[in-house]
Every structure is written in C-alpha cells, then in structure tokens.
Structure 1
Amino acid sequence: MHNRIIQLLSAVSVTMLMGLGINHAVAACAVPEPLKSIDPVGFYDDPAAYAQAVKPMRDYIYRLNKAAESNQWTCVLTLLEGWARADSLLGPISGYQGYYERSWAGTDFALVLLRLPKEVGEANADQLRVITPWLTRIAIATRDADAINHLHNNLVYWAGLNLVAIGTLAHRQDLIDAGLARAREGIHDIGLHGELEREIKRGDRALHYHTFALIPLVFTAELAERQGVNLYQENHGAIGRLANLVIKAVQNPDSFAEITPVKQNLFPWTFQDELSWMEPYYARTRDSRLPGLIAPRRQFHEWRLGGNVTVAWGVALPQ
C-alpha cells in the first residue's frame, strides 16, 4: 500500500511538472549562485587552483552561451538578469588574474546580447534595464583596471573589445572611444611583418600570443565598422599583416621562425578555437587560404566571444 501511494504521488508530480512546462530546458535556465567576485590565482601560477576557482563562472558562461546558440533568448535574459541583480563579478580582486577574467566575461555577455533579436529586446526591455547598467559597470571597471592598462599587450586589446562591445550595447560613446584607443594601441604596435614585439618576448609561447592578440583586434574591428570606423586600414593594414603572419603559421608552423628562432610551444586550443577570428575575417576578406583552414575546425567555440562563433559570425564556405 505504501509503495502504491508513492507511485501515485510520483505520477501526480510528473503530471504537474509537465503541466507547468517544467523540463530539462527550463532546468538549464535556473540561475546559478551569483559570484560576487572572480579572484583566482594566476593561470601560470597554479593551474589546478586556477581551474577550480574559475569553474563556477565558466559553467555559468557555458550555460548562457548554449542558450544563445539555440536561440533560447528568454533563458539568456533570465540568466543575465539573475547575475545583474546580484551585481556579480564586481567585488574586490586581490590578485591580477581576476581583472582579466572579468573583462573576458563581460565581453562574452555583451556579444551574446548584441545578437538578441530586436523584437525580443523590445518585449523584454525591463530585463535589459537591469542587465545593461550592470554590464556598463563591468566595462568601467575594465577601463579603470591598472592591472590591465599597464601591460600594453594582448590583454589591453581584450579590454578594448570589452569596452567597444559593452559600449555598443549600452550606447555609451565614451566606452566605445576608450575601447578603440586600446585597439589602436595594438594596431600601432604591429610591425612590418605582422609581429608584436611584446608578444615575441613570450618566448616559446610567442606564436600562441600572436594568435590570442589577433582575436580581439578582429572582433573590435568588426564592431567598429558599425560606428563607421575602419580599423582594418589603420597602420597601413596592420591587422591584415598580423592575420597573414598567423595564417602562414597555421599552414606551416616553421614559418614563424622568421619572427623568432625560439621553438614554439602551442596550447591544444591555439590552432583550434582560438582561430575563431577566421570566421568574421573570412566573411569580410574572402581570403582564399581560409576555407581550407576553417572547414576541418568548424564549429568554432570560444567562451569569451559568445560561444559558437561559427553560428554567430560564419558564412558559407565554397564547395
């Protein structure tokens, strides 16, 4: 009799849940516990401790990006609003890595929302009035982060993308201008052969960091086009020179010896998802070398760029 009662209660519970539309997709939209601050140890200082510290934020971003990829915009807004109301990620940072992580996270959030269909945004304006000021505070924190600004390297370019993406979303010209200034710092530093002197100093990671530096420059250039600004032409087409350097290295890693004699050591993701810049770059330039490099790597996923970059930025490749 007891078992029969349990079975009946279970059946009623399932029926109620189905009637309420509670399913796996809804469960995936449950807002994780907001993180007041993101303050991990440095990526190179203690890799295991770093991975453990960033996991809650990365899990949240993964959930957000998957929702955007499948056009679950109600879920996207629910997730962002939950963390916005808690003023997440804006707590104190005692080290330095947290400044980078917060900048990357804010960039991802903004790039997701820049894909939000206009009619969805209009229908959910109240949620956006909560989310957008929060992202603006993240951008201001990035703009004012001395832990980033003094570096004058790829992390400054990533901060520039953060500022331009959030500034575009929030219609804040001051943030856009601050972001463009940081992108232009990177563009100005690109040498005659596409080299970046500060990234060459990374020794056996120089090629990786040239690739990593190129990502925010390309995506900032794409967003800048919406402002009528052509960053691709600046410093005599410098972004194109850096792109050419990386393309040649993907085709033949030994070609990077023209830049530095140090044998290069790549991360597994360097020539995989961190080539995601190729999607918008090919869409713009139709560089004939790129389809053969893009096709076997699709689809590109980059957690800093809204998730599935191929879906968001890619175009059809020639057969």
Structure 2
Amino acid sequence: MHRWAHPILVVFLLATGLFSGVGRTASACEVPAPVKTIDPPGFYDDASGYARAVQPMRGFIAKLNKSAENGDWSCAVDLLHGWASADALMGPISGYQGYYERSWAGTDFAMVILRMPSAVRTANADKFTVIDPWLQRIAIATRDANAINHLHNNLVYWAGLNLVAIGTVTNQPQLVDSGLIRAREGIHDIGPNGALAREVKRGNRALHYHTFALLPLVFTAELVQRRNIDLYRENDHAIARLANLVIEAVRNPASFAKITPIKQDLFPWTFQDELAWMEPYYARTRDPRFPALIAPRRPFNEWRLGGDVSAQWGAPLPSSN
C-alpha cells in the first residue's frame, strides 16, 4: 500500500472496490443485485459503516464505468436496464448521506450515456423506455431533496450537474433549467479572489472542498454549451477565478494561506482524480499551465463522472520533445 494510506483512504478504497478488483477482469455481463435504497451513515460520522453501506452501489458503478471505458456498450445498457427495471436507489432515505450518493450515482449514469454512441441508444430504444424514466425519477428526487437544497454549498452544485446531465440525456429541458439554477448559485458565490465563502468555513478541508466544488461547475458549463449557454462568462468569469485559485494551490499549496490561515488537510484524491475538471477546461482554454499538471496525473478516473474522464474529455498535450 502507498505510504500515504490512512484509515479513511482504506475505507474509501474498499468502498469503491479498488482492493477487490471490481470491474478489472473481463467476464460475462452479470447485473449485480439492485440496491433498492442507498442510506449510509455520514462519511464523517461512521467511516467503516459508510464504506460497507455504499460498497454494493459503488461496485455497480465501477462495473458500469469499466464497461464504458472498454466500449462494451451492450453490457453498459444491460447494467442500466437491470437497475432501472428494479427502480434501484429510489427507496426511502432516513438520513442525509443517501441523498448525496444517489445524486452522484445518477450523474455518473448520465455521463456514461453521454459518451455512448448514438447508434447504441437507437438499437436499444426499448430498454431506454425503462432507463430514461428511472433517471428522471432520480433527478426529480435530487431536485426536491431538502437535505441538499438547504446547504447552498458544493452539494447543491453537484445536484445541478445531476439535473443538467440527466436532463440532457433524457431531453428534459425543465430538468436542465433546474440544474442551471443550482450551478448559477455556485457561480454567483465565487468571490473576487476566487474563494467560496461556505467552503472556506470547512476549516482544514477548505481547499479540498474548493476543488470538489469546481468539478460540477466545470462539467455543467461544458454540458450547457450545446444549448448556447456560456456559464464561463457569468459573474465576470467567476469559474476562471475559482480555477485559478485551485491551480495556484496545486502548484504551491502554501498559496491557499491567503484564503485561510488554517493548515489544510487534503485527501490523497483531492489533487489527483478530483482534478478531473482540468481535462475539459484545458481542452477549452489551452491554458499553458495545465500540461505539466495533467500529464503526470492521467488518466483521471472519477467515479461520479463516468470513470475515465481523460478518455472522454481530454485533449492532446504538447509534445515534450
């Protein structure tokens, strides 16, 4: 195990199936038993209980994302159809963490479909008559989740991406509009120095949550470009200010002291896969600062965004020769 591993990381790896090799070997496309309800304890409340509770859902997502990465679209459709037929994840939630998990899962499902060749969807139109309404139910549940809406922080921005992604793949403009409201809340909250006041309040995790908040804002901005909506321009190019703040911190973590004097504690994945926003952002801007940051980290693999983000969103980097 890497020398930086610690209990929370081990819990995370177990939860995502990385220790068990979920999705790593070629096999018949068996659909895992649907998880009817996702209702884990909070991530910070009970780490081991959280890992056990989310493992079946994360295992399914790992298999779905791996199928997409391998171009095994028949399997990807079967996986989605199997869980859609069972109305998976739509059972009652008694806590709060489940609302976040379901939102992230629905986002991932939609992002997988977004990278799916249109011919696959056409050939499986009958299965999508089951998949699409299920995704819409997930999106509506996310839209109406008070456990998310009252927070006005990064989780609202993630809910916005959920709504935009699902609204895009199911052609439901009203879901996209609901997602835009949430994304614009985040963009409006970005201050002149690029900081998000609510995330600064996270103390020693403030930098982590600035990075985590940037992910859904960038991907939402990318998805609505096809509707001729330029979120990058809004609030005087606010996303760029937040991106610059994070870029500076990646290059020099001490730079974040200008935002908060509290020493920052990052997860190992904060400056790895949660920098996946760099792929579409670099592809759009060709910012010369990015190649040196992207190259050693590729491929970016974010379970909430369809798996291998580099393969779907990345642009060629300049040759080092």
Q: How many residues align?
A: 295
Structure 1 SS opposite 2:132? helix
Q: Which residue of 1 aligns with 2:127?
A: 127
Is 1:291 equivalent to 2:291 in the alignment?
Answer: yes
Alpha-carbon distance between aligned partners in 2 of 1:271 and 1:164, rounded to the nearest angstrom: 25
Amino acid aligned to 1:300: F
C-alpha distance after superposition, 1:203-241 (max 9, x if no partner)? 000000000000000000000101110000000000000
Is 1:191 equivalent to 2:191 in the alignment?
Answer: yes
Q: Which residue of 2 aligns with 1:110?
A: 110
Per-residue deviation at 1:263? 0.6
Runs of 4+ displaced beyond 2 Å: 24-27
Alpha-carbon distance between aligned partners in 2 of 1:119 and 1:79, rounded to the nearest angstrom: 18
Is 1:202 equivalent to 2:202 in the alignment?
Answer: yes
Amino acid aligned to 1:299: P
Range moving further from structure 2, 119-128 or 156-165: 119-128
Q: Which residue of 1 aligns with 2:272?
A: 272
Q: Which residue of 1 aligns with 2:54?
A: 54
Amino acid aligned to 1:304: R
Unaligned runs of 5+ in 1: 1-23
Amino acid aligned to 1:282: Y
Per-residue deviation at 1:42? 0.1
Alpha-carbon distance between aligned partners in 1 of 2:197 and 2:303, rounded to the nearest angstrom: 27
Is 1:313 equivalent to 2:313 in the alignment?
Answer: yes
Alpha-carbon distance between aligned partners in 2 of 1:202 and 1:193, rounded to the nearest angstrom: 17
Matches within 5 A, 1:126-205: 126-205=126-205
TM-score of the aligned structures, taking structure 1 as reference length: 0.92
Aligned-pair RMSD on alpha carbons? 0.7
C-alpha distance after superposition, 1:49-96 (max 9, x if no partner)? 101110000000000000000110000000000000000000000000
Alpha-carbon distance between aligned partners in 2 of 1:183 and 1:278, rounded to the nearest angstrom: 18
Alpha-carbon distance between aligned partners in 1 of 2:68 and 2:287, rounded to the nearest angstrom: 28
Alpha-carbon distance between aligned partners in 2 of 1:288 and 1:130, rounded to the nearest angstrom: 45
Matches within 5 A, 1:237-276: 237-276=237-276
Per-residue deviation at 1:175? 0.3
Per-residue deviation at 1:25? 3.5
Identity between Structure 1 and Structure 2 (%): 71
Alpha-carbon distance between aligned partners in 1 of 2:116 and 2:307, rounded to the nearest angstrom: 14
Structure 2 SS opposite 1:37? coil
Alpha-carbon distance between aligned partners in 1 of 2:318 and 2:244, rounded to the nearest angstrom: 20
Q: Which residue of 2 aligns with 1:86?
A: 86
Range moving further from structure 2, 111-120 or 153-162: 111-120
Unaligned runs of 5+ in 2: 1-24
Amino acid aligned to 2:318: P
C-alpha distance after superposition, 1:12-36 (max 9, x if no partner)? xxxxxxxxxxxx7442x20000010
Structure 2 SS opposite 1:45? coil
Alpha-carbon distance between aligned partners in 1 of 2:27 and 2:274, rounded to the nearest angstrom: 31
Alpha-carbon distance between aligned partners in 2 of 1:50 and 1:77, rounded to the nearest angstrom: 28
Amino acid aligned to 2:155: L
Amino acid aligned to 1:142: T
TM-score of the aligned structures, taking structure 2 as reference length: 0.91
